Structure 1
C-alpha cells in the first residue's frame, strides 16, 4: 500500500484543511464536541455545510458551543447527550438517530486518570476511550452503511507507544495500575478499532482511520497537572483538529482505511518510538490484534 501524503503539515489548521470542501447534505457526529479539539472539529465540519451533531456529557455546555459555531459558520449544529461509560446513554443516542450518518468522529476521551472502575469492573480509560465508542459505532453501523461512503475517525495518541492492548489483563486486576499505561492501552485500542472496522465494513462503503492530534493544552490534561509538552511544541486547538478533519473530509482519503496519521500525514511504522513521536507501533496496526480486540469487545459488551 502506498503511504498517504497530503499538502498539509503540523501547522495547518482545520479551516485550511476544509477550505473548498462542500459537504452540504452530509451528516456528521463529533463526540466530545463541546471542548478542546472537538469544538474546532465540529466548527470546521459545519463550515463545509455539513449537518453537525455534537455528542456531549454536559448538554448545557454543548448548547453554548453550538451557539458559537452557528454564529461563526452560519450553519445549524445539533446537541445530544452522550455519556460513554453509561451504556444506556450510548444506546439511547443510537436509538434516537434517524437516517444515514456520513461522518463519525470518535473524539471524546479521558487521560491518565486515577485508578477508577465502572460498575461493570472495567478500567475507566479503556471503558471510555474504547468500549463506549465501540458500542456507539457498532450501534450506528446501519446509519453509516446507509450513507454509502461513510468515514469513521478514531482519535488516538502517540501515547499508544506506552502500551499495547494487554489482553490477559485489560483492567489491571493483576498488574499494578499505571495511569499512563492504561491511557496508552486505550489509545492503541483506538487504532486497532480503525483497522478492524475497515476490514469488516469496507464492503458497506465504510472506512475508518486513526490519528494523533498533537500536543494541545486542553481540559484533557486535567488529571496530569496541565500540558506536559513545552509551549513552543504545542499546537492550537485549530491545528490539533486538522488531522481529524482531514480524515473526515479529504478526497485523498476516499476509500482509504485502517491507517494512522500524524500532522496530516500517514505515519511510518517504527520499531521503537521516535523522538518526535510521529511514527506508529506495529502492534497498533496488527490485523490479528485488531480482530481479537473486536471479538473481546463484543463479548464484554454483550453485543
Structure 2
C-alpha cells in the first residue's frame, strides 16, 4: 500500500477552510456527531460554508443550538439542524435513526471520549468501546439505507494515532478479566474505528458508500482531554509535539468527506490530509493490525452480536 498511498496538496498545517475551498455542497446533507465542541464545530462549520445542510448530532442540545446559531452567523447558512444523540445509549441512537428521513450524503463519526476512569454503559460495555466504536457502528449501520439512497456518499471515522496503544482484545473487550487501563481502552476503541472503516467499505462500496478513517492530530484545546490529569497535559505540552488548532484538526475529516479526488476511495487511514504510511513509528503511521481484514470482519460480527444481544 505504501507505494500506492494517496497524497494530496494539503498537509499538517492545512485548515478545514483550506481543504474545502472551491467545493460546493449545495443539495447535500451531512451529519456530524460531537459537533458541539472542538473539531466537531469546525468540521460542521466547513461543511456549512460550502452550502451543505448540516445536522449537529449532540448530547447537549442547548450547546448544539448555540453552535448552530454561531455557524449560521459566520457562514450565512441557515440550514443547520440540531438533534439529540447519546452514543452510549442504544435507544437514543435508534431514535435518531428513526427520525432521519431522506438521503444522507456525509456521515462524520467525530464524537469520542478519551481515557476516563473505568465506566460501563447500562449494557455492561466499557464506555470508550461502547461510545467511540459501538455507538458509531449502530449509527452508521442504522443510517445505511439513507447513505445508499444518496447514490454517492461518504462515511468518515475519526480515529487517532492512539490506536497504536492497543489492538482490539476480542477475548476481553470490556475489561471483565484484565486490569483496566484507560489508555489501553482508548487505543482499543480507536483501532476499532479503523477496522470499522475497513469492513464497512468492503461491504458498502457496491452501494456507492465509501468509508475511511483518520487521525485528526493532537489538539490540546479540546473537551477530549478532560479526563487527563494536569501532569499528563503538562507532559504532552513538553513532549515537543506540534499541536493543531481545531480548524487544523478538522481538515482531514473534511478532506475525506468532500475532496473530489477521493471519490470511490475507501478502507484507508489518513493523517495530516494524506494517507498514512503502513507500519507505525512513534508519531505517525498506521499499525498493521488496524487494517487487518480478518480482524475487521471479526469486529463487525462481534459488534453486531453485542448490539443484538445486549440492547
Corresponding position of 1:112: 115
Q: Is the aligned partner of 1:220 residue 2:232? A: no
TM-score, normalising length: structure 2: 0.95
Corresponding position of 1:186: 189
Tell me the SS of whatever aligns to 1:167. Answer: coil
Number of residue-to-residue matches in the alignment: 300
Tell me the SS of whatever aligns to 1:233. Answer: coil
Corresponding position of 1:206: 209
Q: Is the aligned partner of 1:16 residue 2:18? A: yes
| Structure 2, gaps ≥5 residues long | none
Tell me the SS of whatever aligns to 2:83. Answer: strand
| Kept after mapping to 2: 8 A contact 1:215/1:229 | no
Tell me the SS of whatever aligns to 2:156. Answer: strand
Query: Please, which of 263, 281, 298 is the counterpart of residue 292 of structure 1?
Result: 298
- Deviation for aligned residue 1:297: 0.4
Corresponding position of 1:250: 259
TM-score, normalising length: structure 1: 0.97
Query: Please, which of 263, 281, 306 is the counterpart of residue 274 of structure 1?
Result: 281
Query: Please, which of 138, 150, 157 is the counterpart of residue 147 of structure 1?
Result: 150
- Deviation for aligned residue 1:119: 1.1
Give the Cα–Cα distance (whole angstroms) in 2 for the partners of residues 223 and 132 of structure 1. 20
1:99-138 maps to which residues of 2 (within 5 A)? 99-138=102-141
Bigger mean CA deviation after superposition, 232-241 or 205-214: 232-241
1:19-58 maps to which residues of 2 (within 5 A)? 19-58=21-60
Give the Cα–Cα distance (whole angstroms) in 2 for the partners of residues 61 and 292 of structure 1. 37
Structure 1 segments, 4+ long, off by >6 Å, are none
Give the Cα–Cα distance (whole angstroms) in 1 for the partners of residues 42 and 144 of structure 2. 25
Instruction: After superposition, give the CA deviation of every residue in 1:259-300 in whole Å (9 maximum; x if it has no partner).
Output: 000000100111xx413x220000000100000000000000
- Deviation for aligned residue 1:157: 0.3
| Kept after mapping to 2: 8 A contact 1:152/1:208 | yes
Corresponding position of 1:230: 237
Give the Cα–Cα distance (whole angstroms) in 2 for the partners of residues 298 and 209 of structure 1. 20
Q: Is the aligned partner of 1:66 residue 2:75? A: no
Instruction: After superposition, give the CA deviation of every residue in 1:28-87 in whole Å (9 maximum; x if it has no partner).
Output: 000000001000000000000000000000000000000000000111210000000111
Give the Cα–Cα distance (whole angstroms) in 2 for the partners of residues 230 and 177 of structure 1. 26
Give the Cα–Cα distance (whole angstroms) in 2 for the partners of residues 68 and 280 of structure 1. 36
